[in-house]
Amino acid sequence: MALNNTYDARLVQQETAVGAGAQILLLALIGTAIGMGPAGWLTGLAFAVATWAVLSRALHRSRLRSFGAANRVTLGRATLVGGVTALVADSFQSSPPVSLFVGLTAVALILDGVDGKVARRTGTSTPLGARFDMEVDAFLILVLSVYVSMQLGPWVLLIGGMRYVFVAAARVWPWLTAALPPSTARKTVAALQGVLLLLAGAGLLPYAATFGVAALALGLLVWSFGRDVLWLYRTSRVEKAPAPRQVRELVAG
């Protein structure tokens, strides 16, 4: 995000309003193309309003003037995720066109690797931008897991819900909020979730293969979360451990 010494709330509102307008336009295009029902419309509109409200508040609190190039990419990706969300909600009444569902999801996943590169190249990486990117990723995985669960069963919801369970658990056990060390494995597993769920939801594979792909996604995620939780637990125990007797005597003396 681009920093500016002069904060103007009107400019922040313009940034987020453009995103909400783009979301409504995408919903109108989808609705016209496939005759989307009330569930899809209401869910898509709720997503647009919620995104606009949360981003407006976050930007206002952070005193940032605008999104900047990287977060405009993320905002565009969020718009696509809103379209996917509307399609999934509509699928409870009628199956959406697979090509449209796959196309929107695939572009959203591809753009996931673009916003980070833009932020690094322009030197505009911020905690708010990273959080925005992470929340869009997490919500897309949740929506995809809902869609795939309609074919394979409710166990697939564990994939989309695991991150939210982790956040909720951190409110009970604060040691879960400690910073984790960088991990290529963690990033790889996170990136694979969307790809594997999209493959499972595309309807291109037989049932057994689709089940295996979703099970692989869940297994990788359980391994990744389990490894991180174990590291956080061990680190918190070390920090709470009493100092050796010799060290305490030296400090006291």
Average pLDDT over residues 203-231: 96
The vertex-99 CA angle with 16 and 221, nearest 5°, equals 70
Instruction: Give the rounded percent of residues in the chain with a pLDDT score beyond 70.
Output: 87
pLDDT tens column, 148-192: 999 999 999 999 999 999 999 999 999 999 999 989 999 999 999
Banded model confidence at residue 85, pLDDT cuts 50, 70, 90? very high
> Looking at residue 9, what is its pLDDT?
58
Q: Is the dihedral of CA 46, 87, 13, 164 positive or negative?
A: positive
- What DSSP state is assigned to residue 155? G
Helices (H), the chain: 9-34, 38-62, 68-90, 98-122, 127-152, 157-172, 184-201, 207-240, 245-252
pLDDT at 128: 80
Assign 57 a pLDDT band (cuts: 50, 70, 90): confident
- Comparing 123 with 184, which gets the higher pLDDT? 184
Q: Which residue has the higher pLDDT, 65 or 191?
A: 191
User: For all residues of the chain together, what is the average pLDDT?
Assistant: 86
> For residues 21 and 33, what is the distance between their CA atoms, to the nearest angstrom?
18
